[in-house]
Amino acid sequence: MTEALQHTTYQPVTRTSLSAIPQVERLDRSLRETIEVVSAVFPFRTNAYVVDHLIDWDKVPDDPIYQLTFPQRGMLSDTDYRTVSSLIRRGAPAAELRATVNAIRLRHNPHPAGQLTHNVPELDGEPLPGLQHKYPETVLFFPSRGQTCHAYCSYCFRWAQFVGMPDLKFAAKEVDGLVRYLRVHPEVSDVLFTGGDPMIMKTRALREYIEPLLRPDLGHVQTIRIGTKALAYWPQRFVTDEDADDLLRLFEKIIRSGRHVAIMGHYSHPRELSTPVAQRAIARLRAIGCEIRMQAPIIRHVNDSARAWASLWRQGVKLGLVPYYMFVSRDTGPKNYFEVPLAESYTIFRKAYSQVSGLGRTVRGPVMSATPGKVLINGVTQIGGQRVFVLSFLQGRDPDWVKRPFFAHYDPAATWLFDLKPAFGAPEQFFDPDATYAPIWR
């Protein structure tokens, strides 16, 4: 598995090391101030690969990868921006600045869709931190050593994991609780390792989490999923990192056990597929039997065009990837800056979908991962003289909801499920979007 490619050491770029980046130093003062102010509230981290190979600095600040990875002025309200800027300019004590930014963070819905309330399973009457079980077949696992990323997406719906507020952190230090839970839940066929990014971990650490799931008494676990942005932000993880070969051997071991390895690759823009090392990372994973699925939300300023999505899916299929989801950005963090109305999202999806071959039409979207479940916008149509959204559940807290069509009044400004009103004068939908649903594991 040796490679002729040059070995590159991961070099993180954080708020405190920006002065060492020549491209940033050449930005005008207002952009540098924006980075300093907004990154005091929302997490910021990138790396030399993103800076040197993915961002077109001649097009900053409009470059889509710059928008995707660097803080933007519109991520904060004018009032909050002025408040934080004033504190930084006068050199406010750290405790004062921290109290102010924490209050701002808490106003931005840090854990949407009931992550800390509705989805944490219990075993013997005790909650299991670092696990989520929203749908019967799939359990999400948040390994504590994987709760950061090679670079942060500026829109990230899990931004609260990275801001140093312990009450908002969601992680499991050990895998024992997951193993015990899986033993008594044979309905679980898929375990998704997520974060953060599990691929930030060394292979040795990842092995400690995964190998216990390969035991014979957990044979009902058929698929190990890895949710990762590393294929886009640090593809060297799979090619030239010192333990890249060991990582592939771990995946081969999973496959030899009779299980499936699904890499849930987060690709937001076709440029992330364009570099030789990114393409080599894909080829290495596919060569050992891993399947790579493509998914990302539609994000204003980054990929809010049919051309971007059609190009992304076409390039992905060419490289052997499976287009999977176009998500709607969740109702958290700097959503107002990045959100795209549902009607516009659907138009973009439909136009992009119509430009790709059948192999690219495995993709589903736009999809909202909301409290009741994964809701798909099937279309916009006229029924009885009324313009409506046609929706359905791809996954639901109640499995009986799945693929059951329902209708909402057409609202061109709506950006989330909770903005939609039932169509045809109905007082409510067949589900309550704001309900506190009973956990599925009881």
Domain spans of the chain? Answer: 12-106
Indicate if the pLDDT at residue 79 is higher than 90: yes
pLDDT at 11: 81
Confidence of residue 259 (pLDDT cuts 50, 70, 90): very high
Distance from the first to the final alpha carbon of the chain: 46
Sign of CA dihedral 8, 12, 13, 19: negative
Sign of CA dihedral 119, 124, 127, 129: negative
Structural tokens at position 178: 């997951």
pLDDT at 168: 59
Structural tokens at position 325: 């989801």
Indicate if the pLDDT at residue 214 is higher than 60: yes
Query: In the predicted model, what is the mean pLDDT of residues 335-346?
Result: 96
Nearest residue to 76 via CA among 45, 58, 103: 103
Indicate if the pLDDT at residue 441 is higher than 90: no
Confidence of residue 340 (pLDDT cuts 50, 70, 90): very high
The region of weakest confidence among 37-41, 224-228, 235-239 is 37-41
pLDDT digits 0-9 by tens, 271-316: 999 999 999 999 999 999 999 999 999 999 999 999 999 999 999 9
Indicate if the pLDDT at residue 166 is higher than 70: no
Contact predicate 322/295, CB 8 Å: no
Tell me the C-alpha distance between 288 and 366, whole Å: 31
Nearest residue to 212 via CA among 164, 180, 168: 180
pLDDT digits 0-9 by tens, 85-125: 999 999 999 999 999 999 998 888 776 655 555 788 999 88
Helix, coil or strand: residue 77: coil
Please give the mean pLDDT across all residues of the chain.
92
Query: In the predicted model, what is the mean pLDDT of residues 154-178?
Result: 74
pLDDT at 344: 98
Q: How open is the CA angle 13-16-19, to the nearest 5 degrees?
A: 75
